Structure 1
């Protein structure tokens, strides 16, 4: 049997447990089949959860990751498991978003990456956190992230 570019993936197609922490989570990558042409990849995690490092109370966010890949794409199941690993992770909003962005940049080495973390209010204050790395290549269509500012019940 010939080896394919997907043979080295250890999580896809199997029963993989949710990692206990982001540091323990494995982000897998695959070769970009369209590396000769710049394009945008969007990953959306509308039900992201983590916990407050001080109180242990849950925090909820809608996260949007946009990146222009170079040689690699993130494998989506490993990304899902990585994001889920924050469920029992205590960190402030800013640390969660910047660490996700830095980890993706380290693993994928994209031309450009941005992440928007739109946190639901706690104590009446929503916090939005944004991280960007690199410059978006000219000519790549980058739509608005589509997350409206928090308006409460009005």
Structure 2
């Protein structure tokens, strides 16, 4: 008797990869003048689209990092985060993508990006990605 493969709920590889390579505005930086301090930026109005249901997702994204030679410029961060509004992307992918883009832009000593997403269907999610891994 063959074992039945578990259902993935109709999710495809296309759903899973959605939004990962979408073009987004560039994160700009400015030269850091000090060392040994931490920056925490809270973004309480994150929105994106679920790639499967096309329903909006809402959450708070928190960036916490120790700058090295550059700091992320806040206006460019705001424009970058607001660009997610029209992208189909899963929570997990968004948090990891934000971390990758932050690290690429300002090369911090370390960074943590946390996404706390509002409840949907009685479930809420918190996703945390860290650099270095």
The structure 1 residue matched to 2:77, chosen from 64, 79, 100, is 79
1:33 equivalenced with 2:29 (yes/no):
no
2:46 aligns to what SS in structure 1? Answer: strand
Q: SS in structure 1 opposite 2:119?
A: coil
What is the aligned residue count?
113
2:24 is matched with 24
Q: What is the alpha-carbon distance in structure 2 between the residues aligned to residue 22 and residue 75 of structure 1?
A: 21
Following TM superposition, the consecutive aligned residue runs of length 4 or more in structure 1 with deviations greater than 6 angstroms are: none
Please report how far the alpha carbon of residue 44 of structure 1 lies from its aligned counterpart in structure 2 after TM superposition.
0.7
Give me the TM-score of the superposition, normalised by structure 1: 0.70
In the alignment, which residue of structure 2 is the partner of 1:49? Answer: 47
Structure-2 separation of matches of 1:56 and 1:41: 33
Q: 1:22: Cα distance to partner? A: 5.9
Instruction: Flag the structure with higher helix content.
Output: 2
Residue number in structure 2 paired with 1:89: 87
**Partners in 1 of 2:69 and 2:54 — Cα distance?**
39
Instruction: Choose between structure 1 and 2: higher strand proportion.
Output: 2
Instruction: Identify unmatched segments of 5+ residues in structure 1.
Output: 1-20, 136-154
Give the deviation of 1:62 after TM superposition: 1.0
Q: How does 1:3-152 map to 2 (within 5 A)?
A: 23-34=23-34, 37-134=35-132
CA contact (8 A) 1:113 1:132 kept: yes
Normalising to structure 2: TM-score of the pair?
0.81
The two structures, once aligned, show a CA RMSD in angstroms of: 1.5
Inter-partner Cα distance in structure 2 for 1:66 and 1:27: 16
